[in-house]
Amino acid sequence: MRQLLTTLALSLVLGGSVSLPASASHGDHAANRGIGEPSGAPHIGSQAPAGQPYRVRLARAAFSDAEEASTRLRRRPAYDRYDGGYRPRYTKRRHVRGIRHAHRHQRAAQRRAAARRHAAAQRRAAARRHAAAQRRAAAGRAARAAWAKRSLSTSGAGHGIASYYWQPQRVAAGGWFDPNAMTAAHKTLPFGTKVRVTHLGNGRTVDVKINDRGPYVAGRIIDLSKAAAALLGMTQQGIARVKVEVLGR
């Protein structure tokens, strides 16, 4: 066994010493060839010397990490428009864009429909309020007409206490109170109604027109102006028992 290993080692040493001149001559021959041919391929028409093995020479190059990083930064990927893997930046798929557009259109249509429903509800509510106001106004006019008809009734005269006032103030019918005019205030008679007031103590009478509301004292039925009270002769005592008759308008 030891002899076999020794023989193998000697054969390897002899083979390496024999191949050195062949490789050097082959390197000189490759240097004289064209630049475009690879150094490891055999030249056409040339053969290695008989009994010498052909060796392929390999080229090595050093490439640092810094150069690799700079090359990677300078190089940009080139995309092909017709490549199946090409996707432009920030571009969404067509069906996604279509779905989102449809959703936006649907939401806008829903908002418009809700606005139309709200406006229709507002119009219906306004119509209901207007109709209710019209009904209330008609009922009020009917009640005032009935009240005025009862107030203007001449079936009987009213008896009670009369007083007078002279302070300047606004009257319920509009305008300012004139103490020198033949006017009076009554609680229920319509404005513009003419009444005849008779003093039950001395029998004097005066015709006045209603343009104000009052008196708001229990037991009193009419409040005369100072001029009307002077004609009845009641300015000294301030009040008097009278009879009130409605003459009309």
Domain final residue pick, 151, 168, 186: 151
> Does position 117 have pLDDT exceeding 80, yes or no?
yes
Q: Where is pLDDT greater, at 97 or 201? A: 201
Judgement on whether residues 162 and 244 belong to the same structural domain of the protein: yes
Residue 208, domain CATH: 2.40.40.10
Residue 240 lies in a domain: yes
Residue 192 lies in a domain: yes
pLDDT at 143: 74
DSSP 208-219: EEEEE----STT
Residue 1 lies in a domain: no
> Does position 18 have pLDDT exceeding 90, yes or no?
no
Residue 116 lies in a domain: yes
pLDDT at 154: 47
Domain final residue pick, 151, 178, 211: 151
The count of structural domains within the chain is 2
Judgement on whether residues 119 and 180 belong to the same structural domain of the protein: no
pLDDT at 101: 78
Domain assignment of residue 140, given as a range: 101-151
Name the residue among 164, 215, 208 with its Cα closest to residue 183.
208
Look at residue 242 and give its three-state secondary structure.
strand
> Does position 4 have pLDDT exceeding 70, yes or no?
no
Q: What is the 3-state secondary structure (H, E, C) of the chain?
A: CHHHHHHHHHHHHHHHHHHHHHHHHHHHHHHCCCCCCCCCCCCCCCCCCCCCCCCCCCCCCCCCHHHHHHHHHHCCCCCCCCCCCCCCCCCCCHHHHHHHHHHHHHHHHHHHHHHHHHHHHHHHHHHHHHHHHHHHHHHHHHHHHHHHHHHCCCCCCEEEEEEEECCCCECCCCCECCCCCCEEECCCCCCCCEEEEEECCCCCEEEEEEEECCCCCCCEEEEEEHHHHHHHCCCCCCEEEEEEEEEEC
Residue 196 lies in a domain: yes
Most confident of the following: 74-78, 152-156, 166-170: 166-170
Give the global pTM: 0.41
Residue 39 lies in a domain: no
Judgement on whether residues 244 and 167 belong to the same structural domain of the protein: yes
Least confident of 46-55, 75-84, 232-241: 75-84
Name the residue among 184, 193, 241, 182 with its Cα closest to residue 213.
184
Residue 53 lies in a domain: no
Find the angle CA(72)-CA(78)-CA(84) to the nearest 5 degrees: 130
Look at residue 44 and give its three-state secondary structure.
coil
Residue 36 lies in a domain: no
